[in-house]
Structure 1
Amino acid sequence: MRQLLSLLLVIACLGSAYSQTTARFSVKGTVVDSGSTALVGATVMLLTPKDSSLVNFGRSTDKGTFELKGNKRMPYLLKISYVGYLPYQKEFTPSDDAVTDLGNIELKPITKELFEVVVRTAKAPLSIRGDTIEYNASSFKVPPGSTVEELLRKLPGVQVDQEGNIKAQGEDVKRVTVDGKTFFGTDPKLATKNLPAEAISKVQVFNDKTEKAKITGVDDGVKEKTVNLELKESHKKGGFGKVTAGVGTDARAQIRGNYNKFNSKEQFSVIGFGNNTNQSGLSWDDYQDFRGSQSFNWSDQGDFGFSNGGYIFFGDDNDSFGVPVNGGGRDNRGFSKNYAGGANYNYDTKKTKLSTNYFYNQTQQTLDAVSTRENFLPNGSLRTDIGSSRINFNGIHRGSLRFEQKLDSTNTLIVIGNGRFNKGDDSFNSLEQFRRTGSTLSGQSRINNSSNYDAFALQTTAIFTHRFQKKGRNFSLSTAYNRNNTNGDADQRSENTLVTDGTNPVNPIRTINQINQTNSLRSEFKASALYTEPISKKVFWETFYNFSFRRDEVDRDVFDRVDPNEVFNDSLSRYYVNNFTYNRLGSSFRYTNKGFNFSFGGAALNFHQEGQFTRDQSSSAAPTTVGRTFFTVVPNASMNYDLKNNRYLRANYSVNIRQPSTRDLQPVVDNSNPRYIQEGNPNLLPQLTHSLSGGYNMFNPATFTNVFINVNYNYNINQIVYNQTVDSLLITRTRPINIDGGQSVGSYVSFGFPLKKTKSNLNVWSNVNFGNNPIYINNVLNKTRSNNYNLGLRLDYTPSEKFTLYTNGNWSVTNTSYSISSLQNQRIYSYNYNADMNVLFPAGIYFNGNFNYRIYQNKRFGFDQKVPILNLSVYKVIFKNKRGEIRLTAYDVFKRNLGITQSASQNFISQERVQTLSRYFMLNFTYNMRGVKATTRRQGGMIIF
């Protein structure tokens, strides 16, 4: 905290000294039309005459006045733009006074005769129209070979963190489009980290409507911060991509490549990589528009109705259908070999949109870990020290298709299909030692497990939408069929012993030598309908219905090895069938007028479960049945208010419902770790979460100052938690149960402003979260309270294209307390410092340094870990048109990379260290493919680009 205060003090002093320097001056004036009427909100820019670099900017006030302060004394080019008027530009030299007053500046309306002049002069670094800011990409210089992400870092009002997450005007960017089309799916990073900066003509930042509002024509008041990348004509018609190959020390090697070609209608891309450098997902620099046009829309799942609550979410966490992407970063756990490749094709016109792709990736990973876990009990604690080794392999085929057809001006049909097939195996060995309330050894387990599996999954959806002639009247209908089939075999061997003298394992309490065969099949049919009716120009009525039927069938056979035979285990084997029927009927009203948008409504939902299970599918014994019905009414309300001048206020209340996962419902015992046995609970009820949130955000386009405030509160009913019991043999058993009382409250505040426009920006943020989670430990209620305080700061300094510096720091403190054992209360400190520097040296040599310093402290357990990670690279661009690059990189110069994690939750704390890839050097060669070059010619008295 002292470091942060010192840094803020230095920045404040520098800013004060800077503003008081006598060598600087202010320029002011008044923007008017030919009738001397003030022009409000005109974009005013101060440029260098030599290269039109942006130095300062602002907007005219409601009286047409402007003033740009803190400028160096030198000649400038003043440029003013306003919609419908001829751009104004004038070179001037400041007077000796502190303020140079340019008086009234008259803008002329655009006429046909002036159009050629408009084309000649319209190329300004940026323009501001309402809540839309448009940047001219060529006015913001980045090194050759840079991606769009590096370009965005240069733009005033835009921030990009080390993971590639984008903020514009203080808000998270929800979508990035290219020429107005979603060629890259819903993740903004897929575009910004892969398209080359040189391909971009303009960058536009604005508040867009949601996909639902666009389709129905009813404004829901929700805005999505959107960035649109406008391509140069050269890259709309040509292809571009690159190939990179590298070799390094310690037998490290990598190769990756991609090629992308598209025009106004079609897009095709191929991609592939292989490495042993822990890069298990696609590099952002390689991704190159792989996901494709219209990958996701609001209605792709066809679950109409409340978009923020009231629909049951099934809690099964299967592998995603999406292509794995990790930003090009290295996995901080273990060692892995990775291979992947795929192809993608898109076709996009006003009436027809088609997106399809295939992708395969495989990863073989080795993990050697040492971990410590301490569970707090009503009468003491249980400490577990684990040393483990794991080798696993996973290979996944993925395919997807999305087809959208506008049948006519009122009807649209969407068909979606996603498929996945994967195979994998896993080998796991560990030695676990247990200590009960102290350091004396009480027991240990040796585990030697292996498994293999294959799985197939399919998702299909069809959506039909009809828009009536009356504006706002719409009808939508959807159907979906999903299927998931998994088959697996497991070989489980373990020996578990007690220790009576504190040193030597004796008295075996359990030995496991089993074969486990599990077949699981899930199928689901869904249907949904939505009708929207305008009651007036300001009031709309919406009603919807959702239906789903889901069937889960699990056949688990367990055999004990009793040499020389395999004996069926009645107690662990299960055949289980579960049917879920879900109905939801709801309605809501929406009022919208002059920026104020309010919606309220409710839905009645009925959930019925009917299941049965036996020890075996062929068993003659009567099955045990499970049947129950759950009914509730859930309210929903939301408010969005556009206060004008880029100020927004919002509030929301909803009830979210989560159905227990199939695994939690299965009355199946998982004894793969004999000291930690898990069992399902077929009597679980769905979890209800009441959520209340509100927020305010403001952006001043004249000063580029932004403020963002958000608060939220959640309260859980029938929360699904995992009850724990630890017996005298130190065996922990967990079983999910429902419990009330879990709640959380949080807040987030951020403030950002330029220290020097176009040169330096400062952002400060803070979030505070309080949580209370109840759980039963040996039938005693334990309430875990977790209070987290977080403070962050980001300072960007980009004085020129030859030098850039991005720094940020994050300070976090978490206090955790336990009602059953206050002696175990603890405080965890986590500090994170980052710096990224780029320097251009003579002879076109570039240097990049990236430094990350992480500090973890937990004084109660004497844990104090400092991890400095420094990566350095030097590179030079070669060949004609700068198509080649040679780069030498040193990873983890200090050789301090450690896979460290620590956490505190419920009734335990844990720490883990994993051996992982450390210092090595790599030499890379990259060859870039460029599109056709743009040409400039004159035709018919007009300039054509």
Structure 2
Amino acid sequence: MKYFILTGLLCLLMTGVFAQSAPARFNLLGKAVDTSAVALNGATVMLLTPKDSALVNFTRTSETGAFQFKNLKRGTYLLKISYVGSIPFNRTIAPPDGNELDLGELKLKPITKELFEVVVKTARAPLTIKGDTIEYNAATFKVPPGSTVEELLRKLPGVQVDQEGNIRAQGQEVKRVTVDGKSFFGSDPKMATKNLPADAISKVQVFTDKSEQAKITGVDDGKKEKTVNLELKDNFKKGGFGKLVAGGGSDLVPDRDNRARGEIKGNYNKFDTKQQFSVIGLANNTNQTGLSWNDYQDFRGSNSFNWNDEADFGFNGGRFIMFGDDQESLSIPVTGGRGRGFSDNQAGGANYNYDTKKTKLSSNYYYSRTRLSLDALRSRENFLPGDLSILTADTSGQINANSNHRGSIRFEKSLDSMSTLIFLNNSRFGTNSGLLQAEQSLFRNGETLTTRNVRNNTSSGQSLGMANTLLFRRKFKTKGRNFAASASILTNTSESQLDLNTSTQFFESSRATLAQRQDQRTNSVSNEYKASLLFTEPFKKKFFWESFYNFSLRRDVADRDVYDRMREGSTGQMPRLDSLSLYYENNYLYNRLGTSVRYSHKGINLTVGAAAQRFDLDGEYANDQSLFLRSKINRTFMNIIPSVGLNYDLKNNRYLNFNYSVNTQMPSARDLQPIVDNSNPLFIRQGNPNLLPSQAHNLWGGFSYFNPGSFTNFWGNINYNYFTNQVVYNQVIDPTTLVTTTRPENISGGFNVGAYTNFSFPLKKTKSNLGFGTNTSYGENLLYINQVLNTSKNQNYTFRARLDLTPVDWFTLYANGEWGIQKVNFSVDTRQNQTIYNYTYGGEMNIRLLGDFYINSNLNYRVFINERFGFNQHVPILNASVYKILGKEKRWEIRGTLYDALNRNLGVNLSAFQNFVTNERVQTISRYGMLTLTYNMRGVKAQMKRQGF
């Protein structure tokens, strides 16, 4: 026993001596200099593992050329130093005997012409930092076979990608992704990152670029855009790639008539340095109602979206006037997730782009069709003056079918080195039909049944929209002098028909029953002609004078005829209801003349300007277009619009921004039409031809900082918005029947103020990153209810956290959480004040197993609590899949997926608005399983020779 104790003490003593002689960790420092011993400031210093050159840590040298790595684990490392114009420095580092190793001055030799090829072949470092540009070598960041660029980006230090695919790099949102320097996949970064194969990429470059407007005019406006450029491997630059996915499965919900589920989708994309061709198609009954982000990026291409297509010059990004139109967008609809209810969907299209130095052409066609079945239970409680409330219980079932054809053409021609001509066309033709069966009951103070309405409506319609723009830009020999002119023609036509069949019972007043059968037909046409001029002139080197003129002439015509089906004659003729019918013409004439002065010097960009604008509204309306006497609407509005902007580059990746602007928005054509919409007799809507344009005064300031050595970043902003002549929908509630009539009105005084911050840093470079964020806001919204002003006050407080963890090549975890509190106060009835808690927990996990098996799972757990209504909702949505990569070239994938594994997709939603809260429950797809087979095309072999297509 005595010897055992002595042996133990000796072991402890030897351990202590060893620990003192060879510490577990050590510091590494040195200094990078050139052959003349001049310090190299900003050189990239990396530590790699000798075995596979995996990145362990990195930093940049200081102004004195010094660098340091602290608390390194004992082991052997490969030190690599790179600097522009120098041969990369490489040295194997063995652990020292002590706790610090000083390498002294490390000399980097200049690159000579003879050594250039050798240097290029040996300089494949994981990343290189050049100024504010970070270049990643994609080959050193391992992702599973078949991965997308999005998964590759998640591996890169300093890059963050959330569950929706939004990208942040160096602390800023990425707004542009290019492929080999060209925008082959449009203006939304997700179009490129979500489906381009990761193995097609050789390098990823992240840098700060000037705005497109600054590139065109040659005048620095101080606005910066964070950009990601993807460099393709040689064997992908002239070839095709894409994928085809087919799958089937079934609902897995107890006590339900489970339905078979299936989907098929595919895309093919082929481009070289001049041309790109894409086709895409899908069909499913899994509620993917349009192109998802996973599909869209392989379809639109090179010139489909361009940053120099803005034809409305002047303040506010060129949007000199915004119309609150109700027409559907001409662009292709894109959905980020799966919709509600139960839908069957088909879509497909083709896209072609041609891009040379002098000529650029982009064209596409896209067709989509959706049939949606939606059954819902809704309740709504309205708070009224005098301690009165209305509880509305609504049960509805509807079937809607929509189909759309969309096409676009963009042609750009460089007339010479100084002049450019651009033609744009976007067109859409759509049809729709619907069937609605609904029962709605109104309860006074939540107890006494007052009114009940039953509806059985059918509807149909079609619409055509088209926008054409011709844009001319001219540069001059004097730098900064530019001229631009544009002309646009926009048209929208629509025809709709509603067969209204409704019965309304009144229990408290006359106890009568009101039955209505109506045929409502509405034809509308809207045409707009626009023109703009812009001229920029430099003076005194640091100053630029910019002047612009905007013109718009718009004419809206609406012809609404309502017929009484209940008095339909034997010949099929129906009497016209003049009280609900209307013919309406409206002409808007808009002129704006503005000027501004910009100062640009040493990182400071200050712009101060003002514009005078005038609206002339000339309209008339009558119950029938055949009537000679019509009611007139003649209004004129004039005002001055100021604009102030400051962008200040504080150097060392610090930026300060400030902006004040005023946005003007015209009322929508629908709001201006004095039409009575009684499609729901319990909620009647009226138009208002006397509406004024609304204005929003916007004040915004922000600051951002990024440290390229530590990859620590911070950004924050504060904003304030004040509204004048805001269009709100005032309410008048009949005290007996509780029928609500809404009418748009102008009101001033609403505002909101908010602040947003975010801070993130690596816990361990290349392995984990942690981020925190907060935002808070306060707003007041005004609304008249039975002629009593109601002020609803909203306070919001939110805290966010995010962890990106990639400890080993075979495991990744992306976790996030958000905790929010919303306080809502109502002036008409303070008893209805409430506090709403929103908590969201999300995450995605990927595991690589032996034999090319992979596990992927993602969780979205939402908690919604409103104690005022006893509402406590917990909805965890868990999706999990297991898949295997097959084939010699790993082009095949077989995947089994369980959607909504916990069967908690309840379709429940609770919302609070200005003077009411709603609770909605919609039947929708919940737990189901799918087995899919995917074929991935990876491009052509390097030895294959292709010329164009």
Alignment of 1:151-300 (within 5 A): 151-249=152-250, 250-300=259-309
The aligned counterpart of 1:786 is 794
What's the offset of the Cα at 1:28? Answer: 1.3
Taking the aligned partners of 2:799 and 2:317, their CA distance within structure 1 comes to 29
From 501, 507, 525, give the equivalent of 1:499.
507
Taking the aligned partners of 1:176 and 1:910, their CA distance within structure 2 comes to 40
8 Å CA contact 1:310, 1:603 repeated in 2: no
Taking the aligned partners of 1:452 and 1:495, their CA distance within structure 2 comes to 21
For 2:536, the aligned partner's letter is T
Taking the aligned partners of 1:801 and 1:508, their CA distance within structure 2 comes to 73
8 Å CA contact 1:836, 1:848 repeated in 2: yes
What's the offset of the Cα at 1:517? Answer: 0.3
8 Å CA contact 1:803, 1:837 repeated in 2: yes
2:692 paired with 1:691: no
8 Å CA contact 1:143, 1:801 repeated in 2: no
From 403, 418, 426, give the equivalent of 1:418.
426
CA RMSD of aligned residues (A): 1.4
Alignment of 1:855-870 (within 5 A): 855-870=863-878
8 Å CA contact 2:567, 2:575 repeated in 1: no
Taking the aligned partners of 1:290 and 1:861, their CA distance within structure 2 comes to 46
For 2:636, the aligned partner's letter is T
Please state whether the residue corresponding to 2:151 is helix, strand or coil: helix
What's the offset of the Cα at 1:440? Answer: 2.5
The aligned counterpart of 2:653 is 646
Please state whether the residue corresponding to 1:562 is helix, strand or coil: helix
The aligned counterpart of 1:913 is 921
The aligned counterpart of 1:522 is 526
Alignment of 1:747-762 (within 5 A): 747-762=755-770
8 Å CA contact 2:315, 2:643 repeated in 1: yes
For 1:831, the aligned partner's letter is Y
Q: Which runs of 4+ in 1 moved over 6 A?
A: none
Please state whether the residue corresponding to 2:512 is helix, strand or coil: strand
Taking the aligned partners of 2:546 and 2:297, their CA distance within structure 1 comes to 40
The aligned counterpart of 1:666 is 673
Task: Give structure 2 stretches of 5+ with no counterpart.
Answer: 1-21, 251-258, 945-949
The aligned counterpart of 2:392 is 384
The aligned counterpart of 1:18 is none
- Shifted more, 55-64 versus 436-445: the winner is 436-445
Work out the number of aligned pairs and report it: 909
Taking the aligned partners of 1:782 and 1:371, their CA distance within structure 2 comes to 24
8 Å CA contact 1:309, 1:657 repeated in 2: no
User: CA-to-partner distance for each residue in 1:896-918, whole Å, 9 max, x for gaps?
Assistant: 11222222121111121111101
- Shifted more, 301-310 versus 61-70: the winner is 301-310
Taking the aligned partners of 2:594 and 2:840, their CA distance within structure 1 comes to 46
What's the offset of the Cα at 1:310? Answer: 7.5
The aligned counterpart of 2:590 is 582
The aligned counterpart of 1:591 is 599
What's the offset of the Cα at 1:843? Answer: 1.3
What's the offset of the Cα at 1:496? Answer: 1.2
User: CA-to-partner distance for each residue in 1:698-741, whole Å, 9 max, x for gaps?
Assistant: 00000000000100000011111111010021110000111110
For 2:531, the aligned partner's letter is A
What's the offset of the Cα at 1:289? Answer: 3.0
Taking the aligned partners of 1:676 and 1:367, their CA distance within structure 2 comes to 21
Taking the aligned partners of 1:155 and 1:898, their CA distance within structure 2 comes to 37
2:454 paired with 1:454: no
Alignment of 1:534-573 (within 5 A): 534-565=538-569, 566-573=574-581
Alignment of 1:318-329 (within 5 A): 318-327=327-336, 329=337
For 2:699, the aligned partner's letter is L
The aligned counterpart of 1:842 is 850
8 Å CA contact 2:312, 2:319 repeated in 1: no
The aligned counterpart of 1:441 is 449
The aligned counterpart of 1:604 is 612
Please give the TM-score of this superposition, normalised by the length of structure 2. 0.94
Taking the aligned partners of 2:835 and 2:909, their CA distance within structure 1 comes to 15
Please state whether the residue corresponding to 2:333 is helix, strand or coil: coil
For 1:319, the aligned partner's letter is E
What's the offset of the Cα at 1:874? Answer: 0.3
Please state whether the residue corresponding to 1:176 is helix, strand or coil: strand
What's the offset of the Cα at 1:246? Answer: 0.2
2:42 paired with 1:41: yes
Taking the aligned partners of 2:449 and 2:24, their CA distance within structure 1 comes to 74
Taking the aligned partners of 1:921 and 1:70, their CA distance within structure 2 comes to 48
What's the offset of the Cα at 1:122? Answer: 1.5
The aligned counterpart of 2:350 is 343
Taking the aligned partners of 1:435 and 1:820, their CA distance within structure 2 comes to 19
Taking the aligned partners of 1:464 and 1:127, their CA distance within structure 2 comes to 40
Task: Give structure 1 stretches of 5+ with no counterpart.
Answer: 1-20, 937-945
The aligned counterpart of 2:7 is none
2:370 paired with 1:366: no
Taking the aligned partners of 1:632 and 1:563, their CA distance within structure 2 comes to 51
The aligned counterpart of 2:641 is 634
Taking the aligned partners of 1:73 and 1:235, their CA distance within structure 2 comes to 41
User: CA-to-partner distance for each residue in 1:381-414, whole Å, 9 max, x for gaps?
Assistant: 1111111111101100000000000000111000
8 Å CA contact 1:515, 1:559 repeated in 2: yes
Please state whether the residue corresponding to 1:881 is helix, strand or coil: coil
User: Closer, same or farther in 2 for the Cα pair 1:683/1:141, shift >3 Å?
Assistant: same
What's the offset of the Cα at 1:225? Answer: 1.0
Taking the aligned partners of 1:50 and 1:115, their CA distance within structure 2 comes to 26
For 2:218, the aligned partner's letter is G
2:712 paired with 1:713: no
Taking the aligned partners of 1:299 and 1:287, their CA distance within structure 2 comes to 22
The aligned counterpart of 2:255 is none
From 657, 665, 689, give the equivalent of 2:664.
657
8 Å CA contact 2:79, 2:92 repeated in 1: yes
8 Å CA contact 1:310, 1:657 repeated in 2: no
For 1:744, the aligned partner's letter is N
2:729 paired with 1:722: yes
For 1:131, the aligned partner's letter is D
For 2:676, the aligned partner's letter is V
Identity between Structure 1 and Structure 2 (%): 58
The aligned counterpart of 2:67 is 66
8 Å CA contact 2:313, 2:319 repeated in 1: no
Please state whether the residue corresponding to 1:112 is helix, strand or coil: coil
The aligned counterpart of 2:253 is none
The aligned counterpart of 2:119 is 118
What's the offset of the Cα at 1:935? Answer: 6.4
- Shifted more, 731-740 versus 309-318: the winner is 309-318
8 Å CA contact 1:614, 1:624 repeated in 2: yes
Please state whether the residue corresponding to 1:285 is helix, strand or coil: helix
Taking the aligned partners of 1:151 and 1:614, their CA distance within structure 2 comes to 62
From 930, 942, 946, give the equivalent of 1:934.
942
Please state whether the residue corresponding to 2:472 is helix, strand or coil: strand
Please state whether the residue corresponding to 1:903 is helix, strand or coil: strand
What's the offset of the Cα at 1:308? Answer: 4.4
Please state whether the residue corresponding to 2:902 is helix, strand or coil: coil
Alignment of 1:876-895 (within 5 A): 876-895=884-903
Please state whether the residue corresponding to 2:334 is helix, strand or coil: coil
